[in-house]
Structure 1
Amino acid sequence: MTREAERAGAPTVVSRNRWRDVFDGTLPEDWEPTMSVSVIIPAYKSKTLEFTLASLAAQDYPEDLLEVVVLDDGGGEEPVELGEFVPKNTRVIRIHEVSDGWGRSNATDIGIASTTGDIIYWCDSDMILFRDNVRQHAKWGHFIPEAATIGEKGFIEEWTYTPEEVYEKVKAGTIGDDYDRSQLHEHWSKEIYRKTDDLNDSDGRNYSTHMGACATVTRAVYDRTFGQDTRLHLGEDTEIAYQLWQAGAVFIPAHDAVGWHMGRGTIQDHAAKVAWHNDVHFAQRMAIPRYRRKADNRIWEVPLLKVVTEVTPETAVYARPAIDRILNNTQTDVHVVLVGPWSKLHEGRRGMLADPMNELYLVREWFRTDNRVIFAEERPQSVFPAPFRIDVPITAELSSESLQEMYRLMDKPWIGAMRFFTPGHDNDEAVTIWNSAVVERARPYVTAEQSLEDLVAKIAGFEWQSSDAAQLADLRENEHLEERVVRVDPRIARLENELQHMRIRAEQAEGTISTARLVARGLNAKTGGRAGRAARGVNRLLGGFPARAVRALRRGR
């Protein structure tokens, strides 16, 4: 916790995304900033950079706490010019001199790595920042260590400024008088703010509002991420925002951190094209929201669920049936971290059948080509950036629906963790699903007096559920471990159950209504009048069983 947070008597950790419960933005009268700010400005042949720098030179933030790094990404063509009005601590990095990469994410990554500020400020080279913009952003990090702020911007399409005029107007505090913000284009994020009480009710799901034109995050949170994904050349600010969410960030609209955006936003003119391009890249990297992943049975770079389980020579006999059941779940967006003494396995001469480690060799061979299974020597502290972690003892048996049920119970109310009573296992071995964003927020606050479980409960709740809720059993009690493991689609099970009930009713029916007609009517009622299509679809889905059943009933009459 920062000194300012201690003085304000603020709680040590923000619950969910309810930043207002900790700090509502009202500063103590004697407050002065102490955290340093690094402003990162990627620039590609920019013609407006001089205006941005002039506005930064006129900020009321202490100049000794402010550094500006301009990343010239023009490849040596048309080098950007800083102009006359520049903050004291400003420097330029010509990207082509230090990197073969290109694009905003690559430049931003280089810029952040070259700085040490307590707060990182992403700023586009076409922004004019009002006089207290940096201060209004930075104040949040002083009171909320996980603060990730989003500034306000008005889109201006015509201007007659000179850099000198920008400097003078910003310094005088009058730059905001030049345009009526209520008459300018309203960014789509404003509607989200209205629906979520300024993100207080968002639980972080609206991370996409954190955009690079004018946004900050504390370095403490940024350092928990993988940093900029330099493979991306569009949407990189959304991707790093997702990482920040999973690293425990608290997203805050900084409505008083205002600026003019010089020109129209890309989304204003190319929204459909941008979404079409970005959704493919986002689907690989962001497990939430779910709508982007339009196919099941796919292996994504960042899974929705990461299951962690541990195997020893003594329990290795259960590893294959246990993990096969995990991988055959109806929720297929899953990776498995299999922890074991893999480094002790060797390729030298050994007595195969007499080797007490032989079952581990077989486990490794069984999953060797399945890249959903990750062999690890130690239990990972974090599964970042996967949004959910499930700790499972290797001797627990999951049904085909276990993972989906655990995810469903956790996700909608956005709970911090959920532990399930697990047959045959002590409570400290019980199957547990963790919300990664909550865990990462909690972890820095763990002390001898406050456990991780206590902090997770404080942030978003920690619940216990029955074994039935997740359909768990003791694998050691299963007498059919050698049988083939198959995924049981719950829809098929329900259809088979309904068909059985209809068959019983048909056998009991009397009068003029034929058995076939009764079955058809039953299917018709259950499919909203689409009986023909539904009957044919069910018949194909069940391998022709319904048709055979009807024919059998007819023969039996």
Structure 2
Amino acid sequence: MRAVTQRYKTAAGQPRIRHNDYGVLKPPAPGTWSPTLSVSVVIAAYGHQDKLDLTLAALAAQSYPRHLLEVVVVDDGTLPALRLPEIVPDNTLLITTEPGSRGRSNARNAGLAHASGDVVHWLDADMVTFHDEVEAHMRWHHLADYLVVMGYVRFVDHTPGTPTPEQVRDAVASAATETLFDEAASEPHAWIVDLAERTNGLRTERDLAYRVHVTNAASVNARLLREAGPLDTGLVLGEDSELGYRLAQRGAAFVLAPEARSRHLGTSMMMRDGEQVRRYNQAFVPDQIPVMRWLRTHPRRQWQVPYVEIVVDVTGASYEDARATVDGFLASTLNDLAITLVAPWSQAREDRRDPLRSAMLDLVLLRGLYRAEPRVRLAEQAPETAAPTPYRMLCPAGWVPGPETLRKLVEQASDQGYGLVSVALDETDEVIAARLEHTGAFARARLVRAPDEPLESAVDDVAGTRWMDGATLGFLPAGEAEPPKRGKAEDPALKREVARLRAENARLTEQLAAATTETGQGQAKPENGAAPTRALGPSTTRPRGPRALLRRLR
């Protein structure tokens, strides 16, 4: 298998990064190679002309070839308007957002619309880059076309007027950027440093690697960025993390590049108001990032982007079989899902006079049954990808999961990082199977596979695959499965009280048994022939109360 994989790797022309282990890439040392890719540095700015002047002065002194570097500055409605200073890179453009479309996401999207480079390098308007910062980003992008690269930022104190743009240009050009600031007092992105230490520079991270896409110093392959879509203008904060997540679902690998150095003039919003920023983001961001499982704690509510999409092709299936499958998934303990039913729905027409003779009656019945269920959607065909949903389950109609089936399956895939988990349901002349696909792994596989390579082979190479037994997971044929039953809503307080009473009952039962044993073995019969005194007489408290209450609770 490894030999075959190596042949495909050579044919595809793209290195294969497994999960996020980008250690297979070997970037050249700065100054020892000849770049060919162009880069657009996109800067969204609002106010602080003095800081923008320093940012542009540093970019004017970059080691990256001038003819491959363009800068797009977006003024997000500053009054008076921002201007381009004297010291700027050769190819620099200044544009302004429209009054009705302001905000960081809108501004960066406006810059993206004007960017022509092979790579888009996001940069804040208060950053001073080192002389080879752009080159340090770009040497990674020349190795693979599905990368997101995050540079190393330290935050420094800044006094307006010092340093001057001329001093910045000269220091950056001579590779002496450190002399401009008090480096001893500078601070890093502490959480990124901690993440790097825990994950070997992000190489052992999987689904959560997207978090390093911070738009103050990140770069992204432009094709990949446009496929994932621009920044979400509905988010005021957390928009860079949300875009990073969508990039992951398009197959991106995330690289930490400590050699791509820059200095941020002043502290970040997170440093100043971290708790408030987290509080704000927790109300908006989890709705669109399903892998933030620690914030999706409610057992029943629905989210804008589900964790799993279930796809069931119901073409030709009976109403009863299709309903059994759909109802089984709707009853899953993993409630964070959406179901897509694939069939020629446009041909299923209800006869208003003789409904029992409707064309494709079974589809008419299914459409009627789930017309008010928000988690069920109808489609003529399944889309190529489930993005931005991270998992897609394809299940044939007529097979019914148990309540815990989907949860067990997804936990297995998530814990082990599998790109594909196939589930054997039945075997006659052919194997009938369901399958759970990881969206990002399949996207990566499509990017790197050779023309003659099966997609599953590439998935196995970049994330791994596994077969599991359907019966063990709880799948049953529709004819053998019990339909979901309506039960009383579980009251957490009542559940805790039941557990407490059961424990108390067990403790009192042990006391009773011990007392009975002691009475039978340790007391002699009285000399007058009377029966021995009972250890627990009629007036003694016995564990009848808890047992009686337990019977009522059951």
- Does the aligned pair in 2 maintain the 1:282–1:292 contact within 8 Å? no
- Does the aligned pair in 1 maintain the 2:171–2:180 contact within 8 Å? no
From 12, 31, 34, the counterpart of 1:32: 34
Moved more, 39-48 or 27-36: 27-36
2:188 counterpart SS class: coil
Match in the other structure for 2:163: 161
- The verdict on how the C-alpha distance between 1:359 and 1:486 changes in structure 2, with shifts beyond 3 A counting, is farther
2:309 aligned with 1:301: no
Give the letter aligned to residue 396 of structure 1: W
Give the drift of 1:54. 1.1
Residues 141-290 of structure 1 mapped to structure 2, 5 A cutoff: 141-159=141-159, 160-179=162-181, 181=183, 183-188=185-190, 189-290=192-293
Give the letter aligned to residue 551 of structure 2: A
Residues 370-519 of structure 1 mapped to structure 2, 5 A cutoff: 370-423=373-426, 429-478=432-481, 484=485
Moved more, 176-185 or 102-111: 176-185
1:107 counterpart SS class: helix
2:313 aligned with 1:315: no
2:282 counterpart SS class: helix
2:169 counterpart SS class: helix
Q: Over residues 133-185 of structure 1, what are the superposed CA-to-partner deviations in whole Å (9 max), with x where a residue is unaligned?
A: 11111111100221111111121113411112111211122112334645421
From 535, 540, 550, the counterpart of 1:546: 550
Q: Name the CA distance, whole Å, in 2 between partners of 1:417 and 1:487.
A: 36
Give the drift of 1:424. 6.0
Match in the other structure for 2:534: none
2:356 counterpart SS class: coil
Q: Over residues 410-463 of structure 1, what are the superposed CA-to-partner deviations in whole Å (9 max), with x where a residue is unaligned?
A: 111211111111136776641111111111111123344211110110011100
Give the drift of 1:118. 0.9
- Does the aligned pair in 2 maintain the 1:423–1:472 contact within 8 Å? no
Moved more, 442-451 or 86-95: 442-451
Q: Name the CA distance, whole Å, in 2 between partners of 1:163 and 1:251.
A: 33
Give the drift of 1:24. 3.3
Q: Name the CA distance, whole Å, in 1 between partners of 2:332 and 2:101.
A: 40
Q: Name the CA distance, whole Å, in 1 between partners of 2:121 and 2:318.
A: 50
- The verdict on how the C-alpha distance between 1:350 and 1:220 changes in structure 2, with shifts beyond 3 A counting, is farther
1:283 counterpart SS class: helix
Q: Over residues 340-390 of structure 1, what are the superposed CA-to-partner deviations in whole Å (9 max), with x where a residue is unaligned?
A: 111113356463113351121111111111111111110111010111111
Give the drift of 1:307. 0.8
Q: Name the CA distance, whole Å, in 2 between partners of 1:463 and 1:389.
A: 15
Match in the other structure for 1:137: 137
- Does the aligned pair in 2 maintain the 1:207–1:242 contact within 8 Å? yes
From 62, 68, 80, the counterpart of 1:78: 80
2:153 counterpart SS class: strand
Give the drift of 1:187. 1.6
- Does the aligned pair in 2 maintain the 1:40–1:121 contact within 8 Å? yes
Give the letter aligned to residue 157 of structure 1: D
Q: Name the CA distance, whole Å, in 2 between partners of 1:411 and 1:215.
A: 27
Give the drift of 1:285. 0.5
1:326 counterpart SS class: helix
Q: Name the CA distance, whole Å, in 2 between partners of 1:333 and 1:549.
A: 30
Give the letter aligned to residue 547 of structure 1: R
Residues 25-104 of structure 1 mapped to structure 2, 5 A cutoff: 25-27=27-29, 31-47=33-49, 48-74=51-77, 77-96=79-98, 100-104=100-104
- Does the aligned pair in 1 maintain the 2:156–2:265 contact within 8 Å? yes
Q: Name the CA distance, whole Å, in 2 between partners of 1:61 and 1:404.
A: 49
Give the drift of 1:277. 0.1
Match in the other structure for 1:19: 22
- The verdict on how the C-alpha distance between 1:549 and 1:281 changes in structure 2, with shifts beyond 3 A counting, is closer
TM-score (norm 1): 0.84
- Does the aligned pair in 2 maintain the 1:416–1:435 contact within 8 Å? yes
- Does the aligned pair in 1 maintain the 2:251–2:441 contact within 8 Å? yes
Give the letter aligned to residue 149 of structure 1: V
Question: Which stretches in structure 1 are left out of the alignment for 5+ residues?
Answer: 1-5, 515-531, 551-557
- The verdict on how the C-alpha distance between 1:14 and 1:486 changes in structure 2, with shifts beyond 3 A counting, is farther
- The verdict on how the C-alpha distance between 1:311 and 1:116 changes in structure 2, with shifts beyond 3 A counting, is same
Moved more, 288-297 or 310-319: 310-319
Q: Over residues 109-139 of structure 1, what are the superposed CA-to-partner deviations in whole Å (9 max), with x where a residue is unaligned?
A: 1211222211011100000111111111111
- The verdict on how the C-alpha distance between 1:238 and 1:29 changes in structure 2, with shifts beyond 3 A counting, is closer
Give the drift of 1:11. 5.9
1:291 counterpart SS class: coil
- The verdict on how the C-alpha distance between 1:450 and 1:12 changes in structure 2, with shifts beyond 3 A counting, is farther
Q: Name the CA distance, whole Å, in 2 between partners of 1:56 and 1:426.
A: 65
Q: Name the CA distance, whole Å, in 1 between partners of 2:188 and 2:285.
A: 25
1:102 counterpart SS class: coil
TM-score (norm 2): 0.84
Give the letter aligned to residue 140 of structure 2: W
1:144 counterpart SS class: coil
Match in the other structure for 1:526: none
Match in the other structure for 1:113: 113
Give the drift of 1:266. 1.1
Give the drift of 1:549. 8.6
Give the drift of 1:83. 0.6
Give the drift of 1:46. 2.8
Give the letter aligned to residue 121 of structure 1: H
- Does the aligned pair in 2 maintain the 1:329–1:400 contact within 8 Å? yes
Q: Name the CA distance, whole Å, in 1 between partners of 2:58 and 2:397.
A: 59
Identity of aligned residues (%): 29
Give the letter aligned to residue 107 of structure 2: A
Q: Name the CA distance, whole Å, in 2 between partners of 1:277 and 1:438.
A: 31
- Name the count of aligned residue pairs: 505
